[in-house]
Amino acid sequence: MPTATTSSSTSSTSLRVDIVPCLNDNYGYLIVDEARGQCAIVDASETKPVLDAIARVGLPLAAILSTHHHHDHVGGNAEVLAAHPKAIVYGHSSDQGRIPGLTHPLEDGATFELGSFSVTARHVPGHTLGAVTYVVSDGDGPAWAFTGDTLFVAGCGRLFEGTPAQMHRSLCGILAELPPDTRVACGHEYTAANLKFAAHVEPQNTHVAAKIAAVAALRAKGEPTVPGTIGEEREINPFLRVDVPAVRTHVGADASTDSSEVLRLLREEKNSFK
Ligand code: FE
Ligand code: ZN
């Protein structure tokens, strides 16, 4: 089980996140709060791996944080709740009726305490209309952004429900503006395929080339490529780089083209890119 902590301090309030691989290529994330003696799961994608991860840390489950209503992210909610009936469930208010067990509907900018940690929920429509990114901080080390299928390492989710303008605002107006050291913990292991597309869009981008080598080494060892960082995403992710001249040229846009139109063209090309 991969474990990542963001603070070298031995303070027991530091944020510990255990990656929980689910289904084929999904990631749930167990937020472990040793000081308060509880844990929380971001995306109970599948029952067994989530229950096993909770059992491994041996702490009661306080909450499920659902990033969006797709089955591969909430498919374990009901059974995880049956095993941990005191847990509460967060999700966007517009996803009431779509996120099983939702008890705490959220609006953009809502903040709440999760044991020792503070959470800000950002509404990031685009992939779905109720998509939420949870930004979790221990007030000391870097924050973690749990981005679901909105922002992937080196890519973004498909536009199933939202418009290109909504996705552009979610990615470039909200997520790219988080502090550069913010960890990007996304919902799928899509990094290698995303980087292949990024290199196709920007063949001269040396950050992309370096990342391709680093990711290949991780995957060869069977290790996850998450988390990334916001600072790195700004260098490698074409969907955060819609104002970079090389990216605009690639899709046939010019300086006067609306940025969300550049995003739309990129996303459309990626949909059929092999
Ligand atoms: Fe999804
Ligand atoms: Zn998904």
State the distance from the centre of ligand 2 to the C-alpha of 45, rounded, in angstroms.
9
For residue 157, give the ligand nearest its CA: 1
Q: What is the pTM of this model?
A: 0.96
Decide: 90 and 106 in contact? Cβ < 8 Å.
yes
State the distance from the centre of ligand 1 to the C-alpha of 149, rounded, in angstroms.
5
Active site residue 127: yes
Tell me what pLDDT residue 11 has: 45
Of the candidates 246, 207, 249, which has an alpha carbon nearest to the alpha carbon of residue 229?
207
Tell me what pLDDT residue 2 has: 62
State the distance from the centre of ligand 1 to the C-alpha of 130, rounded, in angstroms.
11
State the distance from the centre of ligand 2 to the C-alpha of 70, rounded, in angstroms.
6
Decide: 120 and 111 in contact? Cβ < 8 Å.
yes
For residue 127, give the ligand nearest its CA: 1
Burial call 106-118: b when 16+ CB within 10 Å, e when fewer: beeebeeebbbbe
Of the candidates 216, 261, 229, 225, which has an alpha carbon nearest to the alpha carbon of residue 242?
261
State the distance from the centre of ligand 2 to the C-alpha of 72, rounded, in angstroms.
5
Active site residue 72: yes
Tell me what pLDDT residue 7 has: 45
Active site residue 188: yes
Q: Pick the catalytic residue: 69, 123, 168, 188?
A: 188
Helix axes 259-271, 191-201, angle to 10 degrees: 120
Q: Which residue has the tokens 């470039």?
A: 172
Q: Pick the catalytic residue: 73, 84, 92, 250?
A: 73
Q: Pick the catalytic residue: 68, 69, 84, 250?
A: 68
Q: Pick the catalytic residue: 69, 70, 84, 123?
A: 70
For residue 159, give the ligand nearest its CA: 1
Write down all domains in the chain, each with its CATH number in brackets: 8-272 (3.60.15.10)
**Positions in the chain short of pLDDT 50:** 7-11
Active site residue 73: yes
| Residue 218 DSSP label | H
Q: How far apart are CA 68 and CA 186, in angstroms?
A: 12
Q: How far apart are CA 124 and CA 83, in angstroms?
A: 30
Tell me what pLDDT residue 77 has: 98
Q: Pick the catalytic residue: 43, 95, 138, 149?
A: 149
Q: How far apart are CA 263 and CA 256, in angstroms?
A: 14
Q: Which helix (H) or strand (E) holds 90?
A: strand 88-92
Active site residue 18: no
Of the candidates 169, 168, 171, which has an alpha carbon nearest to the alpha carbon of residue 151?
171
From the CB of residue 239, how many other CB atoms can be counted at a distance below 10 Å?
30
Beta bridge partners of 65: 42, 90
Burial call 45-69: b when 16+ CB within 10 Å, e when fewer: bbbebbbebbeebebebbbbbbbbb
Decide: 119 and 111 in contact? Cβ < 8 Å.
yes
Active site residue 149: yes
Q: Pick the catalytic residue: 18, 72, 95, 138?
A: 72
Tell me what pLDDT residue 13 has: 74
Tell me what pLDDT residue 12 has: 57
Of the candidates 159, 226, 146, 231, which has an alpha carbon nearest to the alpha carbon of residue 192?
226
Q: How far apart are CA 122 and CA 273, in angstroms?
A: 30
SS3 of 192, please? helix
Burial call 157-191: b when 16+ CB within 10 Å, e when fewer: bebeebebbbbbbbbbebbbebeeebbbbbbbbbb
Decide: 152 and 88 in contact? Cβ < 8 Å.
no
Beta bridge partners of 148: 186
Q: Pick the catalytic residue: 69, 92, 123, 127?
A: 127
